[in-house]
Amino acid sequence: MIRIALSGLVTALLVAQAAQAETAMPFALDWKFEGPAAPYFVALDKGHFAAEGLTVEITEGAGSLDAIPKVATGAYPVGFADINSLMKFLDQNPGAPVTAVMMIYDKPPFAMVGRKSLGINAPGDISGKILGAPPPDGAWAQFPIFAAENGIDMATVTVEPVGFPVREPMLAEGKVAAVTGFSFTSSLNVKRLGVPADDISVILMADHGVALYGNAVIVNTDFAAANPEAVTGFLRAIAKGWKDTVADPDAAIASLITRNPAADAELEGERLALSIKDNVMTDWVMTNGLGNIDAARMEKAIEQTKSVYTFTNTPDAALYFDPTWLPADGSLMMQ
């Protein structure tokens, strides 16, 4: 009996030690629990985070800029945010302990989404019309670059600041001719509101001269310096989550729906498919793997940002993206 009791005590101690050894890494998303968030829940459900000794809780966000201050202040060790907005944040808050460490949207979903029946078929069609733009929206933040690349005089565009909840309803009601937003968010939301698919124009900024990258996993650099293996493990788990999602998107949507039962599974499946095809699994990613960036393209992106934003400090790509923590074991390859 004593031997059994001791054995049970040792087992309990080992379990307690294992639990203590796990690293808590709450993850702040950019947006709601919609299709493109599914891979992170797949990583949870398939035990990829747990296999790295991580306890991960995923929370919703309120826009592409939302996670940056959360991570910079240390409220969250990791988040998901627009790297272009991160550039401006670091310029305005030099020395803030935050950087991007894993690119997810190699081709950003920044878009102008309009209605053909309201005269929006090409970038320049917004001239003389009303554009709905939520101030915290990542696509709106990059619109001046899009305008400059396509010869759009901003003085000819009436910009209506709108909240996220009313953005697509205003477009559906014809109160604005177009909105800024993520392609897979605004287009499908407008479709859900009853606008025929053949009346919706999705104008991706990346297809019209904008060289910018999109959303990336960001990290608090103080946390990363103290927990390098945890950060690398977190990124490896995310890569596995995306790879599993591409292999079985229906299962990924099932993981999502358990966290957002009110979501339309078919709609979110379509949203996920769009993000995979247009934004994540690009030709560059399929050749080079998920997560890293092309240095020459990043420099071009910085130059485009400089054309519409005056940096207080000399821009430095090394401040905005650091591949140090990316796994080097082949887990980033998507084929």
pLDDT digits (tens, 9 = 90+) for 130-182: 999 999 888 998 999 999 999 999 999 999 999 999 999 999 999 999 999 99
pLDDT at 21: 59
Interatomic CA distance for residues 31 and 36, integer angstroms: 10
Say if CB 171 and CB 115 are below 8 A apart: yes
In this prediction, residues 259-284 reach a mean pLDDT of 96
Global confidence as pTM = 0.89
pLDDT at 216 over 60: yes
Helix (H, G, I), strand (E, B) or coil at 28: strand
Q: Which two tokens stand for residue 249?
A: 């998107």
Residue 59 pairs in a beta bridge with: 28
**Nearest Cα to Cα of residue 79 among 95, 55, 102, 96:** 102
Sign of CA dihedral 46, 48, 51, 57: negative
Position 97, amino acid: P
In this prediction, residues 305-318 reach a mean pLDDT of 94
Interatomic CA distance for residues 288 and 50, integer angstroms: 27
In this structure, of 2-16, 55-69, 272-286, the range with the lowest mean pLDDT score is 2-16
Q: Are strands 110-115 and 178-182 parallel, antiparallel or unpaired?
A: antiparallel
pLDDT at 3 over 60: no
Helix (H, G, I), strand (E, B) or coil at 108: coil
Task: Kindly indicate the confidence band of residue 11, based on its pLDDT and cuts at 50, 70 and 90.
Answer: very low
In this prediction, residues 55-83 reach a mean pLDDT of 95
Count CA within 13 A, CB hemisphere, residue 9: 6
pLDDT at 24: 97
Q: Are strands 58-59 and 98-103 parallel, antiparallel or unpaired?
A: unpaired
DSSP state of 160: E
Task: Say how far residue 174 (Cα) sits from the centre of its chain.
Answer: 28
Q: Are strands 54-55 and 23-24 parallel, antiparallel or unpaired?
A: parallel
Neighbour count for residue 247 (Cβ, 10 Å)? 11
Task: Kindly indicate the confidence band of residue 1, based on its pLDDT and cuts at 50, 70 and 90.
Answer: very low
